[in-house]
């Protein structure tokens, strides 16, 4: 059974002083899907999130979240949406726990959920720390925990693991995967293509306000794998990179028959290489 569309974007454009920031965007996101919106800084990712969350008006086109046009987003929609951006406000003079408790009261969430979420984002042992004393990474984790208090149907994440250490980033990835499995749709912006490949069901590659390609990460890397090759390691510790051809196939079969083969895997382009091929620029 096909899942419901929770974000629908058609011909969405945005200009600032006659300069196009977004041009004719088209995409949709279904419940339980992790959708990666990928591109370098300045490509239009944050502008798109601001439009989808009712913080900025589009110049033309249509965008709907949970069945409501973004121009009409109100409290009933915000109660079903979580937003994590660099400027997501936390009260710096309050402790980590007090911040969570304050928003839990507003959202009508049971207090028991606070400790559960703080544990998941690695902040429980820091719950009595004043927010102004948190590192950038810890503050980011607090914003994420706060955004999850009310178990939103749609979660918008703007570079959610930027500045986090690898172990915390992995914990966040696991949490996002669990949210997806429970039905939460996640709209994720990042310039980290490895993160997108691991997490996302579908991605859109954004360059200078234009979606240059979209699809499942695996499908995109296969689509642009024009020069397929194989990395081969033999028992004598010799290693080869061989092209995809009939001659290579014969060699592989011979090594297998002679019990000489240790490992073989195909070399496929990464999403980052696909992006560079399409745009001529890197994700910085």
Judge if 103 and 241 occupy the same domain.
no
Q: Does residue 203 contact residue 38 with C-beta atoms inside 8 Å?
A: yes
Judge if 210 and 231 occupy the same domain.
no
Judge if 147 and 231 occupy the same domain.
no
Per run of 10 residues, the mean pLDDT along the chain (length 284 residues) is: 86 93 96 94 91 94 94 85 79 94 91 92 94 87 90 90 79 89 93 88 95 92 76 84 81 86 79 85 68
- Structure token digits, residue 6: 């929770």
Judge if 128 and 33 occupy the same domain.
yes
Domain count across the chain: 2
- Asked if residue 117 is part of any domain, the answer here is yes
Judge if 230 and 146 occupy the same domain.
no
- Asked if residue 115 is part of any domain, the answer here is yes
Q: Which domain holds residue 249?
A: 226-267
Q: Give me the pLDDT at residue 205, please.
A: 94
Judge if 82 and 12 occupy the same domain.
yes
Q: Give me the pLDDT at residue 5, please.
A: 94
- Asked if residue 221 is part of any domain, the answer here is no
- pTM of the predicted protein model: 0.83
Judge if 18 and 116 occupy the same domain.
yes
- Asked if residue 135 is part of any domain, the answer here is yes
Judge if 193 and 233 occupy the same domain.
no
- Asked if residue 59 is part of any domain, the answer here is yes
Q: Which residues contact 268 (CB under 8 A, 6 or more apart)?
A: 221, 222, 225, 228
Judge if 50 and 177 occupy the same domain.
yes
- Rg, C-alpha atoms of the chain: 22
The domain boundary residue, chosen from 214, 236, 253: 214
- Asked if residue 167 is part of any domain, the answer here is yes
- Asked if residue 272 is part of any domain, the answer here is no
Could you write out the DSSP letters of every residue in 12-71?
A: EEEEETTEEEEEEEEEEEETT-EEEEE--TTSSHHHHHHHHTTSS--SEEEEEETTEEGG
Judge if 38 and 177 occupy the same domain.
yes
Q: Does residue 250 contact residue 276 with C-beta atoms inside 8 Å?
A: no
Q: Give me the pLDDT at residue 284, please.
A: 62
Judge if 133 and 18 occupy the same domain.
yes
- Asked if residue 274 is part of any domain, the answer here is no
Q: Give me the pLDDT at residue 164, please.
A: 77
CATH number at residue 194: 3.40.50.300
Cα distance between residue 265 and residue 41, in whole Å: 33
Judge if 156 and 51 occupy the same domain.
yes
Give the CA distances from residue 156 to residues 37, 144, 146, in Å, rounded to whole numbers and listed in that order: 11, 10, 13
């Amino acid at each position: 059974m096909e899942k419901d569309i929770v974000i629908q974007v058609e011909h969405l454009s945005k200009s600032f002083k006659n300069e196009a920031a977004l041009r004719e965007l088209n995409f949709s996101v279904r419940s339980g899907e992790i959708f990666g919106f990928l591109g370098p800084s300045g490509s239009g990712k944050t502008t798109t999130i601001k439009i989808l969350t009712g913080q900025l008006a589009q110049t033309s086109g249509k965008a709907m979240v949970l069945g409501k046009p973004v121009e009409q987003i109100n409290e009933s929609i915000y109660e079903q949406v979580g937003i994590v951006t660099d400027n997501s406000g936390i009260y710096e003079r309050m402790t980590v726990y007090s911040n969570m408790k304050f928003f839990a009261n507003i959202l009508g969430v049971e207090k028991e959920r606070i400790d559960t979420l703080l544990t998941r984002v690695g902040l429980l042992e820091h719950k009595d720390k004043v927010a102004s004393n948190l590192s950038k990474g810890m503050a980011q984790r607090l914003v994420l925990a706060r955004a999850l208090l009310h178990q939103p149907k749609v979660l918008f994440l703007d570079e959610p693991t930027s500045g986090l250490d690898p172990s915390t980033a992995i914990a966040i990835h696991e949490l996002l995967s669990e949210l997806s499995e429970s039905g939460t749709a996640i709209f994720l912006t990042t310039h980290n293509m490895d993160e997108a490949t691991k997490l996302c069901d579908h991605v859109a590659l954004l360059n200078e306000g234009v979606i240059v390609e979209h699809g499942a990460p695996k499908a995109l890397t296969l689509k642009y794998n024009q020069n397929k090759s194989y990395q081969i390691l033999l028992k004598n510790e010799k290693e080869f990179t061989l092209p995809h051809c009939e001659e290579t196939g014969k060699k592989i079969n011979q090594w297998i028959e002679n019990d000489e083969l240790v490992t073989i895997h195909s070399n496929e382009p990464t999403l980052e290489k696909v992006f560079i091929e399409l745009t001529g620029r890197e994700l910085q």
